[in-house]
Amino acid sequence: MEQQVFQNATVVKQTGALCRLTLLPRWEPFTAILSGKLRLRGDKLTNPVAVGDRVHGYRQPAGKYPGEHAVITEILPRKNYLIRKSANLSRQAHIIAANIDWAYVILSATEPQTPYQFIDRFLVTCQAYRVPVSLILNKTDELEWAEGYRSQAAHCRDIYLRAGYEVLEVSARTGMGLDSLSQSLKGRISLFSGISGVGKSTLANRLDPLLQLKTAPISRAHLTGKHTTTFYEMHSLLSGGYIIDSPGIKGFGLLEMTKEELCHYFPEIFAVSSSCRFNGCLHAEEPDCAVREAVEKGLIPAERYENYLRLLEDPEGGKYRT
């Protein structure tokens, strides 16, 4: 019996040397390993293959090698991907996911609060790598009793609506806003990302109760989330579509981006930049800068401009300032 060749399988989970694949739209995951050639090709990546990648390979004949996995022999070109600087200093970067139809950065209306620097780094990366992105403001039901957070949540929503991003308000606990979100997810491969504790897995479970993803309450001592998702993993939704659940991310270093092109990934800054006196204006200290003038007039939120300046200074990502 000959090897069974498969084509255009999608990686739905990647844990070290092992991957789980399926031939979408069928949801019948099987285990595979990377061929030696792919493992040794020398990319400066912590993961040569990522969730969402489409791959070719073959399966061993049934019973020929007990316990033998399928083998991935080729990774197809990606239509897009999200990448960040890796915490592993021996490598350069980590691919979060590939071939994403839509990305969602999930925030909490109360706690834990996501630093604006994290949000903006994530949005800039999506813009740079051609991944459509929206924001989800979760736990909005808690604003009924956590009055101190109402103005913060409203201010956050205003900042990103003014920048041209969609901001969805939902509650994983009550189900508010989830019907609309579920409709948006149909027919798409979507990424859920954000810091620990904002409710990514809880939200996924509410969208499809059969998932039963592991969740944990936030630490009341430090108002921070606990890591419950360990690996990036794609899940099939009963209502249609697929979501990639991700571990909570603490930092988001940018890669392969020049200072000159950075303002292109801040839509509200880029829209004003054509009125600057100098074509190569970085909007930092140059005279007659239309962007700085717009910030002074309140047309561009100060938080976005400050984070733009921080990215000019430190694109790879230092400690966030809160």
Report the chain's C-alpha Rg in angstroms. 21
Mean pLDDT of each 10-residue bin along the chain, 322 residues long = 86 91 96 86 78 94 64 96 72 87 97 94 94 98 92 97 97 96 97 93 94 68 45 93 84 78 96 95 96 97 97 71 38
Quick one: DSSP state of residue 31?
Answer: E
Structure tokens at 234: 């794609």
Residue 190's DSSP bridge partners are: 102, 243
Query: Spelled out in words, what is the top-level CATH class assigned to the domain 259-313?
Result: mainly alpha
Question: What homologous superfamily is domain 4-77 in, according to CATH?
Answer: Nucleic acid-binding proteins (2.40.50.140)
The whole-number pLDDT of residue 42 equals 55
DSSP reduced 3-state for 8: strand
- pLDDT, one tens digit per residue, over 72-122 is 999 999 999 999 876 555 557 889 999 999 999 999 999 999 999 999 999
Distance in angstroms (rounded) separating the CA atoms of residues 82 and 102 = 11
Return the amino acid letter for 122.
F
- The SS3 call for residue 308 is helix
Give the per-residue pLDDT at 227: 42
In which residue are the tokens 């040794």 written?
40
Percent of the chain as helix, strand, coil, to the nearest 5: 25, 25, 50
Identity of the residue numbered 36: G
Report pTM.
Answer: 0.89
- Where do the structural domains in the chain lie, given as residue ranges? 4-77, 83-88+95-245, 259-313
Tell the CATH superfamily of the 83-88+95-245 domain. Answer: P-loop containing nucleotide triphosphate hydrolases (3.40.50.300)
β-pairing, 233-236 vs 242-245, is: antiparallel
pLDDT number for residue 47: 86
Q: Are 29 and 22 a contacting pair, CB within 8 Å?
A: yes
